[in-house]
């Protein structure tokens, strides 16, 4: 029968060592958690190797308390009346006779020349030409049943002049024009750009120097004399046509 040598087994140190190392690691991990948690809660803790920059302190200004504006009392000026100066007449002086001849003045005044007036040129600044013609060219629908005065106003270069006042007055077959008729150049462009027209009636009538026409400016000053003209019964002369031209 075989016999065996039974010896007690020595316990191994491997599991115990690993248990100790595990405990150390857990304690170390717990310490690290506490370390970082403390820094997270209070970054300014003394053991933080990277503390944040300090926040500058805000500058506080004192609170402004508005004070009510003190207005000066209302001041009413009292007008001061200055005494008016009175004129005191100087006493008259009577020269005493003396043997010494009296010298009036050593200064002989020079005569001041009075400027002479430049003569204003006489005459009106507009001339005219007068023509009698058949009105059917301008009023073909009226035929011979029309009578009127028309024309135009031009300058020295035959350029039309607008807004010149034309006045027509006088009488026609006993009917007086108590209020002269007024129109402006440029109101009847059928006779040209500066044309004008007066309608005297719907039939031809005869007259001899009882009607007149005249040009005036905007200040109602005459630019021509009153020009007296005739009218005829003839249908070929029922339009009295004037052409006024400026000469200066």
List domains and CATH numbers for the chain.
Answer: 129-246 (2.60.40.10)
pLDDT beyond 60 at 203:
yes
| Coil/strand/helix, residue 190 | helix
Q: Which whole number is the average pLDDT over 193-206?
A: 95
Percent of the chain with pLDDT over 90: 49
Residues sharing a CB contact under 8 Å with residue 139, sequence separation 6 or more, in sequence order: 146
User: How many whole angstroms from its chain centre is CA 184?
Assistant: 30
- pLDDT (0 to 100) of residue 69: 55
pTM over 0.75: no
| pLDDT, averaged across the chain | 80
Structure tokens at 175: 């009917």
Q: How confident is the model at residue 44 (pLDDT cuts 50, 70, 90)?
A: confident
Dump pLDDT digits (tens) for 97-132.
555 444 444 445 555 555 554 444 468 999 999 999
């Amino acid at each position: 029968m075989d016999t065996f040598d039974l010896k007690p087994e020595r316990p191994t140190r491997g599991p115990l060592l690993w248990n100790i190392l595990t405990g150390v690691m857990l304690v170390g991990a717990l310490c690290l958690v506490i370390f970082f948690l403390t820094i997270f809660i209070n970054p300014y803790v003394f053991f933080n190797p990277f503390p944040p920059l300090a926040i500058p302190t805000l500058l506080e200004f004192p609170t402004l308390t508005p004070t009510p504006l003190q207005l000066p009392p209302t001041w009413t000026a009292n007008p001061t009346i200055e005494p008016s100066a009175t004129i005191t007449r100087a006493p008259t002086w009577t020269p005493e006779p003396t043997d010494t001849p009296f010298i009036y003045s050593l200064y002989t005044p020079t005569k001041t020349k009075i400027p002479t007036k430049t003569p204003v040129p006489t005459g009106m600044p507009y001339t005219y030409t007068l023509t009698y013609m058949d009105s059917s060219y301008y009023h073909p629908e009226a035929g011979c049943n029309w009578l009127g005065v028309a024309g135009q106003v031009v300058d020295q270069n035959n350029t039309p002049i607008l807004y010149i006042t034309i006045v027509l007055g006088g009488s026609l077959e006993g009917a007086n024009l108590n209020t002269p008729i007024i129109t402006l150049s440029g109101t009847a462009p059928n006779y040209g750009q500066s044309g004008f027209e007066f309608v005297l009636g719907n039939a031809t009538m005869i007259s001899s120097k009882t009607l007149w026409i005249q040009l005036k400016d905007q200040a109602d000053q005459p630019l021509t004399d009153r020009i007296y003209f005739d009218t005829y019964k003839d249908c070929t002369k029922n339009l009295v046509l004037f052409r006024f031209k400026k000469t200066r």
